[in-house]
Each structure stands twice: as C-alpha cells, then as structure tokens.
Amino acid sequence: QSDESIRQLRKQRLILIFNLLHTLGVRANELTQITNAKMVELLEQGQTKIIAHKQKMEKIIYLTPKGKKTIKALLPHLEANDAYLLVSGRGAKRTPLEPSSVLRDINSYLQKVFPTKNITSHSFRASLVSELINDKNISVKVVQQLVGHKDISTTYLYARVSTENIMNSLAMVR
C-alpha cells in the first residue's frame, strides 16, 4: 500500500476510536479489549461486560439508542466473532492493537491538531461525563456507575461548572 492509503486508513481508525471513546465513555485501554462479538452484543442488548483494565474487575459498558446509531454508521458490516475490534496488520497477521500504541497515536494526533490545549485520549471520557452531569442533568451517582468509578469524588472531578451552567441554574430559581 502507498503511504497515502496507509495514512487514510490510520485517519479512519482514529476517527472510529475517537467516536467510540466518547460514545462508550471507556478508557483507551478498555477499548482495545473489545471484540467484534462484544460490540455486536452491545448493539443488540444495549450493554456488555468487559474486565476494566484499571480496576481489574468486571465493568458494564452501556449504549444509548443514539450511540447505537453512531456505531452502526461507523461499523455497518460488523460480524459477531472473537476477533478484536481494533487490530493492526492484514490477513492472518491481524493482531489486537496494543493499548500503549493506541494512546500514543491518539495523543500524538491530538497534540498536532490542538497544540495549545492539553487534550488527551482521556478527554473524550471526561467530555462525556461532564456533558451528562452539566448539560443533561444526569445524577452524578448514575454517571459514576456508567463510567465505573469506585469513588464518587472521582466523578465529581469531571463535573466542570461553566458560567452557562450557573446562569441556567439561576434562571430555574428566579
């Protein structure tokens, strides 16, 4: 393959990864564990289980109807098999992507696109949590369960309060 086609495939894979990170609210290393069969289960049942890398315990990943539409559009020909969703290589040499290489690719790309901002692979997860708490007024306890935080204080760290949040809250009271 030419350098340009490899770059295009890498770009498509990054777009898929960015969408999955934000839609699922998982860590990049958790995303690398997901098989095609787990993704099909998630699309069909709205949830699936993985072993969370950080806590080394079972974690449930949930998917909303809107998230299902997003993922189905990104993965229209997904088959339920034991192959990993994110792989490198072709043919028989397909191997699961290493979490460290996924993190490196994501963070390198984000640094190039947003050189003055501190955006990392974890920013997608933080963005989802913040959006659920601040914009959608979802209970912090529900969000804690959704993202698998053991301690609710960790979830509160993601709840960034903006001037707009304050003004909207005041408008409901006054």
Mean pLDDT calculated for residue range 132-153: 89
Q: Distance between CA 156 and CA 135 in Å, rounded?
A: 14
What percent of the chain shows pLDDT beyond 70? 94
Structure tokens at 143: 């969000």
pLDDT in tens, 57-86: 888 999 989 999 999 999 999 999 998 999
What's the angle, vertex CA 54, arms to CA 27 and CA 51, rounded to 5? 80
CB 71 within 8 A of CB 64: no
- The residue ranking higher by pLDDT, 130 or 93, is 130
Cβ atoms within 10 Å, residue 130: 19
Longest dimension (CA), the chain: 65
Mean pLDDT calculated for residue range 86-115: 85
Q: Distance between CA 102 and CA 104 in Å, rounded?
A: 5
For 102-151, the DSSP string reads HHHHHHHHHHHHSTTS---THHHHHHHHHIIIIIS---HHHHHHHHT-SS
Q: Distance between CA 83 and CA 80 in Å, rounded?
A: 8
pTM, 2 dp? 0.80
Q: Using CB atoms within 10 A of its CB, is residue 105 exposed (0-12), middle (13-18) or buried (19+)? A: middle
How high is the pLDDT of residue 169? 80
Reduce the DSSP state of residue 152 to 3 states and report it.
helix
State yes or no: pLDDT of 23 exceeds 80. yes
How high is the pLDDT of residue 57? 82
Q: Distance between CA 58 and CA 76 in Å, rounded?
A: 28
pLDDT in tens, 155-172: 998 887 778 878 888 888
The amino acid that residue 38 corresponds to is: K
